[in-house]
A and B are shown apart, each in its own frame.
Chain A
């Protein structure tokens, strides 16, 4: 944690990905919808200016407004691949690249004398090679780099370098920054800070770290120190490793049919288990959630049950057995379920595992290990859900609705972008 740090953030990332292969969307208000075409989860600047809020359900947008805007289904395969390409360009320029989220990455520039020109060159290279516009903030600490990035977004150059903490411009800038805009400070914490008279980033940076630690938390004390210019955060401090894996989804229509529900659960379990094996983890428990639509008022029903496994596992069969057990506990006749989810919990890395005396591996499990890796290989080669454990109807109401999804043109041969020849 030496620093300085640059934070590279892709501007309106999902929308930008769509625009790379659909240039007609430039300058047009564009929104990206969540799974099942539910809510707006990403917006272009033009859409923000029209006052369309984040998270608003698509069906609540007025028809007159809808005609003026473009709504796309989310195309995660495209976004994931474009994200990897942006990272690749960054790695061509710098060694210390650390992905942070799908559209953000840190560069630890320890030992570099960074020139603004270099960051400009990086920004232009990313734009040119991937088509994605990015903003870059540079500062001595991650918390300040995050702030610098906000300013970079407003700067026409797209790059902003935070003044050094010794520079008189530093406190001026922090005074102008409300405390709730500081990385890691949510609305609730901001309210508590305000009650103590801490209204700006500057007030937080000059507060006594020990007092902050006592009254709030060690994380907040570190945030204060970071604002003052001392790097304290490792990358994974702010959000820890994935300790749980969730696959959940609304059904395109509510159903009370246990067979249909169990198929949806089977699909989610298959998917979660695949992700689990991909990241090399095991799970010790399976949580199942089943709920009705939140719009039906007092009859709302939300069930949740956790089934513990005898020992950590990667085996889809084990998870399905647990999920089925959970389903039998939760399912109520006559209730119309709208959503179900499967979460694999208490994850551990396979390479960090200790087998206790009671947890010796049975013959069945060794066999299933081989079966699972064959399953994953087949699905990687022939497409998701080429092979599943248990029957899943490809046209059921739990299948993803994505009527307006763009082509997955960077990852599928049969969905390449098309150009006119004339």
Chain B
């Protein structure tokens, strides 16, 4: 994630047609819940990484994870 800085309340544009690759910000379904994460595939621990370092990465193995779509734009409220 190259400084996407997704803030609470931001609007995400999500493209379901794209194939998620390393470094993409994705909307993923983890245990039935939709969440936005960065997909890291080439790291020592491939998984979904949170922008917030307080949250541990979610490894791709042994979890029910689906990629819902790839985030292509982030819209912040200006005022």
Contacts and interface: CB of A to CB of B under 8 A. Distances in A.
Contact of B29 (A23, A129, A418, A422): A23
Given A23-B66, A129-B16, A421 B33 contact: no
Contact of B34 (A23, A128, A422): A23
A21 B16 CA distance: 13
Given A419-B34, A421-B36, A422-B55, 7 more contacts: A21-B34, A25-B32, A416-B11, A419-B27, A421-B6, A421-B50, A421-B52
A60 B32 CA distance: 29
Contacts of B50: 421-422
A209 to B, nearest CB: 47
A23 B32 contact: yes
Contacts of A25: 32
B68 to A, nearest CB: 7
A422 B35 contact: yes
Given A23-B68, A129-B16, A418 B34 contact: yes
Nearest to A422: B55
B33 A128 contact: no
Interface residues of B, number: 19
B3 interface: no
29 contacts: A23-B29, A23-B32, A23-B33, A23-B66, A23-B68, A26-B32, A128-B16, A128-B17, A130-B16, A131-B16, A131-B68, A416-B11, A417-B34, A418-B34, A419-B12, A419-B34, A419-B35, A420-B33, A420-B34, A420-B36, A421-B6, A421-B8, A421-B35, A421-B36, A421-B50, A421-B51, A421-B52, A422-B35, A422-B50
A416 B13 CA distance: 11
Contacts of B36: 419-421
Interface of B: 6, 8, 11-12, 16-17, 27, 29, 32-36, 50-52, 55, 66, 68
A381 interface: no
Nearest to A26: B32
A284 to B, nearest CB: 46
B52 A422 contact: yes
A205 to B, nearest CB: 42
B71 to A, nearest CB: 9
Nearest to A20: B68
Contacts of A24: 32-33
